[in-house]
Structure 1
Amino acid sequence: MEAALLSGFIKTILPRLFSLVEGKYKLHKGLKSDIKSLEKELRMIAVTIDEQISLGRKDQGAVLSLSIDELRELAHHIEDCVDRFLYHVTREQQASLFRRTVRSPKTLLSRQRLAAEVQVLKKIPEEAHQREKRYRVFAAAGLSSSTRHAESSSCSSGSDPHTLRADLVGIDGPRDELVQQLTEEAEGLTKHLKVISIVGIHGSGKTVLARELYESDVGRQFSLRAWVSATDRGPREVLMEILQKFGRPVVDNSSVDQLTVDLRKHLGEQRYFIVIDDMQTDQWSTIEAAFPEDNVVSSRVMVTTTIQSVANACSSSNGYVHKMRRLGNKHSEQLFIKKACPTKYSGYTRPESKEVMKKCDGQPLALVTMGQFLRKNGWPTGPNCEDVCRDLRRHLEQDDTLERMRRVLIHSFSSLPGHGPKACLLYFGMFPSDHPIKRKRLLRRWLAEGFVEAQPSSSENFNTLIDRNIIEPISICNDDQVKTCKTYGMMREFILLMSTSQDFITLLSGNKVERKYVRRLSLHHHSATSGSSLDMDLSLVRSLMVFGEAGKTILSFPKYQLLRVLDLEQCTDLEDDHLKDICNLFLLKYLSLGETVTSLPKEIEKLKLLETLDLRRTKVKILPIEVLLLPCLLHLFGKFQLSDKVKITSDIQKFFLTEQSNLETFAGFVTDGCQGFPQIMNYMTNLRKLKIWLERSERSTNFTDVVNAVQKFVHDDKEESNDPRSLSLHFDDGTENILNSLKAPCYLRSLKLKGTLLELPQFVISMRGLRELCLSSKKLTAGLLAALANLKDLQHLKLIADVLEDFIIEDQAFPGLLHLCFVLQCATLPTIEEGALPYLISLKLICKDLVGLADIEINRLICLKEVSLDHRVAPETRETWEKAAKEHPNRPKVLLVNAADESESEAADCSVASMPAVSEAKETSPTSEVAVQEYDIQMKVNQGPPAAPEKQKNCADEPSSKDERNPAFSNIGFPEVARGLTELSIAQNGNVSSYTY
């Protein structure tokens, strides 16, 4: 794992080295040659590591670990060297700009010192290589034993298929649900195969549940049965084992095609039940031909997997996907006590175990292993649960009782494809426990840090983590993209363990941390930094996040030089006076500020590399024009006006005409029609997401400039429909006439209108490519609603109103609609005729006064998969919908959602939400809402929602020194010694290590 992380880290450095040589930094020829040589050296190191990993040589003893440790130090030094050079060059450029001078002698000095440091860095891999050669013979002697140990400790599942029946907890609901899938013979489907997929994280009980069904009376009714494991096996091996289980002769060199023919012939018209456990790749597309779909009666294939896309592929045709749900509080406590408490203490008043419940997060394997660990140590009369949880990371990496849990976590991490997802996963350790993490903000941080080079790559890494159930969605956007997510209990502990042991992040959560060199720093409600005793070098920090009070030491921004990501959104002691120092962080790419900030200084123009500026939580009302002139700014969030004193000068026009604005997201600005933003918008050719508040004022009632700017934004220029333009308009009474001023042709992907709407504007009806529409008005008329049926491209529709007039959704109406959401104060719902909404998969009825089915016949919605109700509806109404869902051919899920989240989702990044969303104002609220939303996605109503989580506490402290870390998770070696020697070598070759000039 350490090798894989190093290889990935090296690959993020290489583009920076390349750009340094190719950039306009006026490096002399010898220095360029040295840098290219260093670049080639790193490429060879990364390729060598990748080859060793592909051969399965994951553990090659202490010598290789020491080499890996030295190489990581080398990579860090190279990154620091390049970034410090860029920082000082940028600083001198800024100083030259304000002094109106052409060149500073210090710029030349920085190049000389860069050359000296590169010379030293070139020698380090040569010395490391010589040391590795000297001790390679000793490493080889221990290779076989260490490899055997690694192989013996590997685990792909962690589930015990032979769990005693008495130990099964909370299995009745899922078992009954899947029994129905095994036994039901719906009309028209009696002669077709059904593939049932069970998907969930390792240790969630997939294999146990499948085994319970396989061994049940229902499972034994099938004339042919077979249980096979797909762990580390290809399609050929899986087919061979199935045939062997049926007693059929198999030739060793048989091809997949021959095995497919043999198995298909053997199954014939018999009724069979086959379980394929732990499928980790899409093998189904290769082996599905072996299972006859015709001439069989209710045969079943059941697949267990940790990968959502594999489950979807297996069950895509006439199948069923069951996602494993976490145990609720009651069942979690029951399972934990069963494993933790000896019978003789059954009547003993047990100590509080809420902290254990929180760490285990409803994961059966975590509850079992934690129970066994505490029982071994004498609980309930022995250790306190809070003390154990506080030191859980140390126990997780060292204690044999937690071995199964440890193997499962290691396998989940090591099986990630490539290096990018691993580095991106470790970044989750920057966030506090139970903190909802927004996908788009996370992707922007990854880009700013350099983990990924382009947006598609960051999205792919995120989707990989979601697909493998390593991180969990809390809410989903209208395009089925995850909007907010979190890490679950034990995986979070593992992430913190890995990221801190690899010096990837440093956490401050209550105690002093003995670590001088810090690259990513996160403060979780920490108060010990107000003094000056914190012994850390902050000049190397790339990311800084603060939750709560930071203190003077941390908020001393002149100490930071290489900072790229600065998230102070929830920092409680940041002041406006700090912002001028922040404006000297020349490498900053991501900046997020909180409610203690009231204004921005003009010096923000120094942040030439800034890509994201998030001011949504601030009290900033007037935006300096300098922000809009930042050349690299892509995303700007807040609610601003321009100062009345701002004039569109020739210099401003020159900037937009010559350099052009790169701004893609502007959400958004407030206008009463006066000059300012509307005029500047005409120059923003890259704008893709726009949010505007229209307000009446006495000084201006003319919105001509606004109309022209919006018209240009929505103009249909015949581009392909993959242009993701999004517009959100909030208007006061009297300003809605602007909508009627917009003319066709128009193009938008997403549109949100909030205000008084009496009719649907003509420009909306004529719009091309509109997929997402949200209308929010006190009253929505029947005429307006009827006009919506003409929007042929519409896929997502959300209607928010106090009053909804009666209307009929007629046959063939909304032919492409996938998601339909009503957020209503009244209980009036439309009549849906037969043939309407032919492809609707999600129906949300957010109305607390809903009574029964409200005359909606969901059997007419043949593609329906999900119905969402207001969590405040009467139990009788909920039960009525559950009954109707069971009678529907698709058996859609019935979910409960929080009405506040639906009505306030406009504050989020997505215009229209199709799943519960955490509103901007409640992102960190320690209430039950997050738990309810998680339940909405993963649990059915009849399981009951989880209880409200406890108020968030400080996360457990990280180990105070590397000596406390287990070699299974950290590299063996002496990195501090290596660092000291390197710095000494640098100092002897030019005294350049400090860069204090």
Structure 2
Amino acid sequence: MEAAVVSALMTNIVAKLLVVLDKRSEQLSGLAGDIKHMQSELSMIAGDMEDHLSQKAQPSVVQSSFITRMRDLAFDIEDCLDQFLPCGACDGEPMSIGDQVDFSKEIQKLKKQLEDAHQQKTNYGVKIGSQQQAAAGQLLFLADDDASAFEDHHHHVGIEKPKQELLELLDGESEKMIVISIVGFGGSGKTALAKAVYHCPQVRRKFLHRAWVVASKHKDDAKQGILRAIVQQLLPSVAPDEIRTKQAAQLQELLRERLGIARTRCLIVIDDIEKLLWEALKPIFSAVKSITLLLTTNVQSVANACSSGDGYVYNMRNLGKEESKTLLKNKVSFFQASSPDSEDGSDAIVHKCLGHPLALVSVANHLLDEKELTGQFCQDTCRRLGIHMDENKNNNFTKLRQVLMTNYSSLPAGSSLRTCLLYTSLFPDGRPVSRKTLTRRWLAEGYIEGRLQHSDLEVAEENLKKLTDRNIILPVDSSNNGKAKTCKPYGIMHHFMLHRSMSSNFIAKSFGAKNRSNYRHLVIENHTNGTASSNDHHGASSSHGHLNKICTYVKKNLDNTGSVNKMRPRSITVFGSGGEAVHSNLTGCKLLRVLDLKDCNDFGDAHVDNIYKLLHLKYLTLGSSVSNLPVKMKKLHCLETLDLRKTKIETLPLEIISLPHLAHLFGKIKLKRVSAKNRKNFNLQTLAGVVVDSNSGFPELMVHMKKLTKVKIWCEITSTDSNHAMLSEAIHKFAQAGADISVGPRSLSLHLNNSSKDLLQGDSSNATSSTPGYLSSLKLQGGLSQFPQFVMSLRGLKELCLTYTNMTGANLLPGLRKLPRLVCLKLVEVDLADLDIKDKDLPSLQRLCIVVENPKFPTIKDGALPRLVSLQLLCEHLVGLCGVIKVEGFEALQEIALDSMVNQPTIQLWENEAKKHPKRPRVCLLKRVIVPAETSWPSVKYVALCQDDSNCYTDTCTIDHMEIDLEDPTLQPNS
């Protein structure tokens, strides 16, 4: 794993060196040869480490020592580049002669260190990619979800309900091929579930012909090998020699002919299938038709592809609290006799393993080695779980270690995916992080490099999608368009990544951590109730003691100039207290790129002063104790993201807003009027948001924000105010500018007061009012007299959210019919009973969310909403089925959401209706949560719960969780 971490880091260093050569080729012509030599050496060493990973061997002591040295050297090179080069986002000013001399000396020094390391590697015969240990049997990886890990009866806890769900799916009759895909993280029990179904007497009776194959065992000739294995099991009367001589087409014909004569369906299970294999096998199975396929995979997109059409995707769920405790009791006698001590031990294990079956089994096996088991030993085991999982000599965790390492090593070599995954471990366990926060931080750290025809942001989004697709990162809640709004690493994977990241000096949990002088990312975690985070690498301690350690360490490392010695993190993130320590430490962190103090509760105005000195800072978030930003923050030349949502800041100096690289600004900001000579061009792409009152200068400035693609506006003006007309015109121009597809989709969110409800109606005297707009997303909140003409002109609108507009169905429907490309629609009103959606209405709509206080929902006639995938009907007073909405009419439906307060008989009725549907959409329960209101309208959000809420690990479900904000989600504080 150490080699994996260093290889990922070095990949980023090499990319930076290439950028240096591209941007500084003339200025650094004398150093070009040396830089190219370093780049070549680093590339070779990184490749050597990738070879080591592919051979799946554990490094020797000498190899580990060399890897550590290469890690430190890679950090030194990165520091050198950052220290001497100006802002990486632009060409910047040329270096002075003195800087060029110092830079040249540093490059020569680093080149010498690299050559020395290479010579040392040769002298000691270090071979990172050595096959000797692999041949000796110290293999690091095995098949990802081997059924042998779940063979005994202890591991079948919690399997009955999912087994029954799959049996119901297999119970139908069809002349077509049926494909059911089981998907989930490695070790979650996919294979065990498939085996339980395969060997069930009910299945044996229904499918007289059955076959089971493991795809990973046929890597050399997958298509032919799997087909022959299947034919041999389905048609045992055919001689093995005859099967071995037949090609795929002949085997297909043999299956079609013999199974057709038998006139019975057959069941085929393919464990651990991959997409290319499925694409090769699909035409063969499709021609046979009488086949039912049960497939397992770790990859969501593979499951979706296999089960497209009439198939079904079953997503594995982790064990609940009580199921996890039952598994421990079945395995370890210590937990069978209930006592406070054993309860403490089991609670710690259940909380740490988060329902992952293989992790629970691994910990249970480890506990069996202890002669006199105690609750304290259980808690110590949990605190050291990362070490146990990484310790090659601990055989109890071998299988778990293999599963986790396979998930990591299967990520493409040479890509930024591995570094991005390691980075996610710096967030507290179980704490969701905003998807956009994560991707923007990746960008700020320099871990993302754009590719041909792909921007950095597109690559970052693609990386997150790939990690989510592999179930390594879990989506936690969904926004209106169905995309994950927040996410978090898979629980047990997070523990493993955190341990390795800390061991590799990638992440440190405090300034005073032993041997952490070379860390790249600092996380300060503590609780205000006086207990330290359970993630602390050195065990629990009080918050007060934790901060004392930080301050003591800082004082010890201050040199005569007052700067901190060997303190060079690229990010500082604080959860809880730590403001004073961070403030006193900032002067020694001159290369800092990310300062995330959003959840730091004691970093206030008195601490802000030193931030402006962080000239490399790209990402800055501040917390609730900050109420003002001084003008000198204009020195943060490289700043790209400024998040003030949790602060008390109301007004920002124009000098900060006009920073040359500031692209994303979050808060509730007022902008004062400025003279024409002081107006500047802006780089802002996201402004969420701005308050417009009679004194606001924003309507005048908005037309100068040429790159703006997302804006949120609170209107506090009257229709007679001069700003009313200017804002209306600016909004129309903003929409019309969206015709230029090169700038990407545009989003507008408006909170209207009673005096600004006609803002979007347009003015017949205004020529721009009749010009079509090109927004992709629009959110409107506040009373409207009628459906705005402006909205009806947005023919390309994909997402629309209307909240407390007080429009009737007669007002709404004609306007909605003017939006044929609408994909997502959310309506939040007191009553929508008079909305009558007819045949062929909203032909593109895929997601419909209706939130009402009156339990009477709109009427949706047969033929309407033909592409609907998600239907959310949220009213706590709902009783029974909505007779005006028929579930069976939505052929593509995958999800139904109800308010969690509806009674159990009503929930059962909806679940029964869902089971009758060919797609068997899942029924989700959403809990209504009141949050502090920002306006006169109620601010409410819905959070998904498990059906058995008592079985969850937290107040909200960690799996299949989604969130619907009745307030615009762009300004909800990140979880």
TM range (shorter): 0.7 to 0.9
1:286 CA drift (Å)? 0.7
Alpha carbons 2:738, 2:746 under 8 Å: kept = no
| SS of the residue 1:579 aligns to | helix
| SS of the residue 1:30 aligns to | coil
Cα distance in 2 for residues equivalent to 1:680 and 1:702: 12
Letter in 2 for 1:327: L
1:719 CA drift (Å)? 3.8
Equivalent residue for 1:706? 727
1:309 CA drift (Å)? 0.9
Residues 601, 538 of structure 1: CA spacing in aligned structure 2 closer, same or farther, 3 A cutoff? farther
Equivalent residue for 2:787? 760
Picking from 313, 324, 341, the partner of 1:332 is 324
Letter in 2 for 1:798: K
Picking from 788, 808, 813, the partner of 1:781 is 808
Cα distance in 1 for residues equivalent to 2:892 and 2:664: 37
Residues 83, 243 of structure 1: CA spacing in aligned structure 2 closer, same or farther, 3 A cutoff? same
Residues 722, 705 of structure 1: CA spacing in aligned structure 2 closer, same or farther, 3 A cutoff? closer
Residues 898, 216 of structure 1: CA spacing in aligned structure 2 closer, same or farther, 3 A cutoff? same
Cα distance in 1 for residues equivalent to 2:646 and 2:871: 32
Matches within 5 A, 1:662-681: 662-681=683-702
Equivalent residue for 1:694? 715
Cα distance in 1 for residues equivalent to 2:572 and 2:782: 39
Higher alpha-carbon deviation: 74-83 or 268-277? 268-277
Equivalent residue for 2:284? 290
Equivalent residue for 1:952? none
Higher alpha-carbon deviation: 155-164 or 852-861? 155-164
Letter in 2 for 1:13: I
Find out whether 1:877 has 2:862 as its counterpart. no
Letter in 2 for 1:374: L
Alpha carbons 1:8, 1:420 under 8 Å: kept = yes
Find out whether 1:68 has 2:62 as its counterpart. no
Cα distance in 1 for residues equivalent to 2:85 and 2:742: 40
Cα distance in 2 for residues equivalent to 1:895 and 1:88: 48
Alpha carbons 1:670, 1:693 under 8 Å: kept = yes
1:90 CA drift (Å)? 12
| SS of the residue 1:715 aligns to | helix
Letter in 1 for 2:517: K
1:766 CA drift (Å)? 2.0
1:887 CA drift (Å)? 2.0
| SS of the residue 1:775 aligns to | strand
Letter in 2 for 1:438: S
Cα distance in 1 for residues equivalent to 2:781 and 2:126: 73
Equivalent residue for 1:504? 506
Alpha carbons 2:87, 2:616 under 8 Å: kept = no
Picking from 571, 575, 593, the partner of 1:547 is 575
Letter in 2 for 1:227: W
| SS of the residue 1:226 aligns to | strand
Letter in 1 for 2:187: G
Matches within 5 A, 1:484-563: 484-508=486-510, 512-525=513-526, 526-527=543-544, 528-530=546-548, 532-534=551-553, 537=565, 539-556=567-584, 557-563=586-592
Q: Any unmatched runs of 5+ in structure 2?
A: 450-455, 527-542, 558-564, 763-768, 964-975
Letter in 2 for 1:241: A
Picking from 136, 141, 144, the partner of 1:156 is 144
1:335 CA drift (Å)? 0.8
Alpha carbons 1:673, 1:704 under 8 Å: kept = no
1:903 CA drift (Å)? 12
1:279 CA drift (Å)? 1.8
| SS of the residue 2:867 aligns to | coil
Q: Deviations over 1:647-675 (max 9, x none)?
A: 2342x34x42xxxx221111111012445
Letter in 1 for 2:43: R
Equivalent residue for 2:600? 571
Q: Deviations over 1:155-202 (max 9, x none)?
A: 4225437623465211111111100111112xxxx2111111111111
Residues 301, 619 of structure 1: CA spacing in aligned structure 2 closer, same or farther, 3 A cutoff? same
Higher alpha-carbon deviation: 119-128 or 26-35? 26-35
Residues 912, 762 of structure 1: CA spacing in aligned structure 2 closer, same or farther, 3 A cutoff? farther
Letter in 2 for 1:764: V
Equivalent residue for 1:977? none
Alpha carbons 1:521, 1:543 under 8 Å: kept = yes
Equivalent residue for 2:82? 83
Residues 125, 262 of structure 1: CA spacing in aligned structure 2 closer, same or farther, 3 A cutoff? farther
Matches within 5 A, 1:526-675: 526-527=543-544, 528-530=546-548, 532-534=551-553, 537=565, 539-556=567-584, 557-643=586-672, 646-650=673-677, 652-653=678-679, 655-656=680-681, 661-675=682-696
Residues 901, 75 of structure 1: CA spacing in aligned structure 2 closer, same or farther, 3 A cutoff? farther
Find out whether 1:852 has 2:880 as its counterpart. yes
Q: Deviations over 1:933-955 (max 9, x none)?
A: 5354499xxxxxxxxxxxxxxxx
Alpha carbons 1:60, 1:147 under 8 Å: kept = no
Residues 830, 294 of structure 1: CA spacing in aligned structure 2 closer, same or farther, 3 A cutoff? farther
Letter in 2 for 1:746: G
1:757 CA drift (Å)? 2.0
| SS of the residue 1:751 aligns to | strand
Picking from 408, 420, 426, the partner of 1:424 is 420
Alpha carbons 1:474, 1:930 under 8 Å: kept = no
Find out whether 1:389 has 2:391 as its counterpart. no
Equivalent residue for 1:826? 854
Find out whether 1:209 has 2:203 as its counterpart. no
Find out whether 1:305 has 2:297 as its counterpart. yes
Cα distance in 2 for residues equivalent to 1:853 and 1:144: 66
Cα distance in 1 for residues equivalent to 2:931 and 2:863: 28
Cα distance in 2 for residues equivalent to 1:79 and 1:842: 47
1:370 CA drift (Å)? 1.6
Q: Count how many residue pairs are aligned between Structure 1 and Structure 2.
A: 901
Find out whether 1:412 has 2:407 as its counterpart. yes
| SS of the residue 2:524 aligns to | strand
Alpha carbons 1:160, 1:207 under 8 Å: kept = no
Letter in 1 for 2:7: S
Residues 219, 775 of structure 1: CA spacing in aligned structure 2 closer, same or farther, 3 A cutoff? same
Cα distance in 1 for residues equivalent to 2:9 and 2:422: 12
Cα distance in 2 for residues equivalent to 1:198 and 1:331: 20
1:693 CA drift (Å)? 0.6
Letter in 2 for 1:448: A
TM-score (norm 2): 0.86
Matches within 5 A, 1:78-117: 78-86=77-85, 107-117=96-106
| SS of the residue 1:638 aligns to | strand
Alpha carbons 2:838, 2:861 under 8 Å: kept = yes
Letter in 2 for 1:569: K
Alpha carbons 1:905, 1:912 under 8 Å: kept = no
| SS of the residue 1:763 aligns to | helix
Picking from 202, 214, 217, the partner of 1:229 is 214
Residues 776, 137 of structure 1: CA spacing in aligned structure 2 closer, same or farther, 3 A cutoff? closer
1:486 CA drift (Å)? 1.6
Residues 199, 70 of structure 1: CA spacing in aligned structure 2 closer, same or farther, 3 A cutoff? same
Equivalent residue for 1:241? 229
Q: Deviations over 1:790-846 (max 9, x none)?
A: 320101000111233512111111111101101111112111111111111111011
1:266 CA drift (Å)? 4.9
Residues 332, 717 of structure 1: CA spacing in aligned structure 2 closer, same or farther, 3 A cutoff? closer
Q: Deviations over 1:228-254 (max 9, x none)?
A: 101252333322322343444367686
| SS of the residue 1:184 aligns to | coil
Q: Deviations over 1:409-443 (max 9, x none)?
A: 11221122234221111111211121111111100
Q: Deviations over 1:920-941 (max 9, x none)?
A: xxxxxx99896535354499xx
Cα distance in 2 for residues equivalent to 1:343 and 1:775: 53
Picking from 202, 221, 231, the partner of 1:218 is 202
Equivalent residue for 1:43? 43
Alpha carbons 1:608, 1:630 under 8 Å: kept = yes
Higher alpha-carbon deviation: 335-344 or 773-782? 335-344
Alpha carbons 1:199, 1:206 under 8 Å: kept = yes
| SS of the residue 1:151 aligns to | coil
Residues 761, 412 of structure 1: CA spacing in aligned structure 2 closer, same or farther, 3 A cutoff? same
Cα distance in 1 for residues equivalent to 2:519 and 2:264: 64
| SS of the residue 2:687 aligns to | strand
Alpha carbons 2:481, 2:847 under 8 Å: kept = no
Cα distance in 2 for residues equivalent to 1:488 and 1:905: 34
Q: Relative contact order, CA 8 A, sep 6+: which one is greater?
A: 1
| SS of the residue 2:509 aligns to | strand
